[in-house]
Amino acid sequence: MNILTLKNINKQIKSKKILNDITLNIPKGSIVALIGPSGSGKTTLLRCINRLIEIDNGSIIYNNQNISNIHPITLRKEIGFVHQDSVMLPGTVYDNISYGLQLQNIVNDELIKSSMKHAGIDEKYLTQDASTLSGGEKKRVALARAIALKPTILLLDEPTSGVDPKNIKTVEQNIISFTKTLVLTVLWVTHNIEQAKRVATHIANLKDGYIQNFSKTNHFVWEGAY
Amino acid sequence: MTGIPYTWDEGLIILASVFVLLIIVIIISVIKKIGIGKEFTLAIFKGGGQLFLVALFLTLLFNYELWYLLIWILIGTMILVSGYTSAKRAGKMPKAYLITTPSILTGATLALSVLALSRAMPMQPQFIIPLSGMAFGNAMAICSISLERLIREIILNRTSIETMLSLGANSKQALSEISRITIKASLIPNIDSLKTLGFIFIPGAMAGLLIAGTDPLVAAEYQIIVYLMIIGGGLTTSMLVHYFSRKHIFTNAEQLQPWIEN
């Protein structure tokens, strides 16, 4: 069953076509790696799904509902987005992870702690000023911040960029693990083909705004990809 | 003795002697190649010319039976010019005058209304004109700082704002921290002036009253009343800039407007 369906999506920014007739069916519970060179439209696609920008035409169907008919705030709680620059908001790690919950007045310390555990952050960081964290720690806080909202889909834009190379596989394992535990569907943007092979159940290859190839990882034709 | 102790003719001689001093300064700046000679000379003639025009206008106004009609024209001009001038600080933001004009108008009108209702501004042209100039001038300055800083902060913090939106914040929530910083920053010049009032400089209204022979205590009291009202108007302007800007910064779908993206 598909939780997300992209139908003939087009997006142009400043007279440049970024996305061309993108069609994708994302199965529920899958981890779809979006691979492709810089400027191929990967991040733009995630931003369209999160409704941070509007598509020019086509449709994005989430749970049988066109996302243009869902209030953006409601949609963003269900489709979480971890941006490539994991910007820390002013305050502590706790303030960051509880940010989305505070907006809804549903702060729950147990949920915050379990989100931290899923993202692989020790509770000792809770009171630390978030701006003082390392790049990798910020990534984990950004992951915890997103999953605390209990989304059904998670959009991850290069979630291991800035992570210490020796910790990349741990972060990957954390994401795979919480995807299963929390029954999430993940769209994972990466430049790293080896990473895509390690983490994804499906792979979509995006080039010059077109989907070149989309299939299960074990059926994916690597020749000429990316 | 009250007022300035010389006539208009005598004043011209004093003005000429002051000009000799200025010419010496300009010559030195040219010799030293400071590079401000031309601009400085132009500024003196432009500023002096403007002041004489205003003086001629005021002479006409004070002797005109229907002076209040001219005042409305003058205030209308102040509103349009200040709104347009401030809007130029908005960079790529489209139709920024729709933010600046009502913000300045409301802030300045509020300050002037309180002054009028409290009788600090009698309904006479010699009070209305300078106080309107102060209220609109200050509201315009605050509006420009506020808008310019707001746009700069949004462009610098675009990712942070989009992170908050992605976490379920609405535009007001995503902008709250930047608004707080920007409103505070826009009032810094006013607050600093207030702190040093009378210490570093004697402000215009008090200086004018002292020259006219008013009791220093009354002059100081009047200046404080005027200053507080003008700062109140400025704060109103700054807050309104943020309120009106939201629609120009975010779409109805809680997204940043394309002019910020590009």
Residue indicated by tokens 């007045």? A105
Q: List the structure tokens of A28.
A: 């529920």
Can you give chain B as a three-state secondary structure string? Answer: CCCCCCCHHHHHHHHHHHHHHHHHHHHHHHHCCCCCHHHHHHHHHHHHHHHHHHHHHHHHHHCCCCHHHHHHHHHHHHHHHHHHHHHHHHCCCCCCHHHHHHHHHHHHHHHHHHHHHCCCCCCCHHHHHHHHHHHHHHHHHHHHHHHHHHHHHHHHCHHHHHHHHHCCCCHHHHHHHHHHHHHHHHHHHHHHHHHCECCCECCHHHHHHHHCCCCHHHHHHHHHHHHHHHHHHHHHHHHHHHHHHHHHHECCCCCECHHHHC
Provide the shortest C-alpha distance from residue A96 to chain B (in Å): 10
Of the partner residues B167, B170, B253, the one whose CB lies closest to the CB of residue A100? B167
CA distance B164 to B250: 13
Task: Indicate yes or no: CB of A76 within 8 angstroms of CB of B166.
Answer: yes
Question: CB distance from A83 to chain B under 8 Å?
Answer: yes
Instruction: Name every residue whose Cβ is closer than 8 Å to that of residue A186 and which is 6 or more positions away in sequence.
Output: A30, A31, A32, A153, A154, A155, A156, A175, A179
pLDDT averages per 10-residue partition of chain B, 262 residues: 74 84 82 79 86 87 84 90 93 94 96 91 88 92 95 94 97 94 91 81 84 90 88 94 95 93 64
Q: What is the CB neighbour count within 10 angstroms for residue B247?
A: 13
What mean pLDDT is predicted for residues A105-122? 94
Question: CB distance from A14 to chain B under 8 Å?
Answer: yes
Q: Is the Cβ–Cβ distance between A214 and A200 less than 8 Å?
A: no
Contacts of B177 in chain A (CB under 8 A): 90
Task: Indicate yes or no: CB of A50 within 8 angstroms of CB of B166.
Answer: yes
CA distance B8 to B38: 29
Q: What is the CA radius of gyration of chain B?
A: 22
Contacts of B168 in chain A (CB under 8 A): 73, 76-77, 100, 103-104, 149
Residue B127 has, within 13 A of its CA and on its CB side, a CA count of: 13
Question: CB distance from A89 to chain B under 8 Å?
Answer: yes
Residue B217 has, within 13 A of its CA and on its CB side, a CA count of: 0
Query: B53 phi and psi, to 5 degrees?
Result: -65, -45
Dihedral sign computed on CA atoms, order B226, B228, B234, B239: negative
Dihedral sign computed on CA atoms, order B28, B31, B34, B37: positive
Q: Percentage of chain A surpassing pLDDT 70? A: 100
What is the separation of C-alpha B40 from the centre of its chain, rounded to a whole number of angstroms? Answer: 22
What residues pair up with B214 in beta bridges, in sequence order? Answer: none
Of the partner residues B160, B173, B253, the one whose CB lies closest to the CB of residue A103? B173
What mean pLDDT is predicted for residues A10-29? 94
CA distances from A163 to A13, A73, A84 (A): 30, 30, 12
Amino acid, res. B225: I
- For the cut 90, the answer to whether the pLDDT of residue A198 exceeds it is yes
**Would you say the pTM of this structure is higher than 0.90?**
no
Q: Which of A86, A87, A102, A153 has the highest number of chain B CBs within 10 A, making it the mutation to test binding with B?
A: A87
Question: CB distance from B176 to chain A under 8 Å?
Answer: no
CA distance B134 to B226: 9
- Cα first-last separation, chain B: 64
Question: CB distance from B163 to chain A under 8 Å?
Answer: yes
Contacts of A81 in chain B (CB under 8 A): 166
Provide the shortest C-alpha distance from residue B253 to chain A (in Å): 6
Interface of A with B in 103-122 (CB under 8 A): 103-104
CA distance B221 to B203: 12
Task: Indicate yes or no: CB of B164 within 8 angstroms of CB of A89.
Answer: yes
Contacts of A149 in chain B (CB under 8 A): 167-168
Question: CB distance from B255 to chain A under 8 Å?
Answer: yes
Task: Indicate yes or no: CB of B163 within 8 angstroms of CB of A83.
Answer: yes
What digits encode the pLDDT tens for the residues A49-74?
999 999 999 999 999 999 999 999 99
CA distance A120 to A74: 27
Q: Is the Cβ–Cβ distance between A64 and A28 less than 8 Å?
A: no
Provide the shortest C-alpha distance from residue A216 to chain B (in Å): 28
Residue B1's pLDDT is 47
Q: Is the Cβ–Cβ distance between B175 and B161 less than 8 Å?
A: yes
Task: Indicate yes or no: CB of A100 within 8 angstroms of CB of B165.
Answer: no
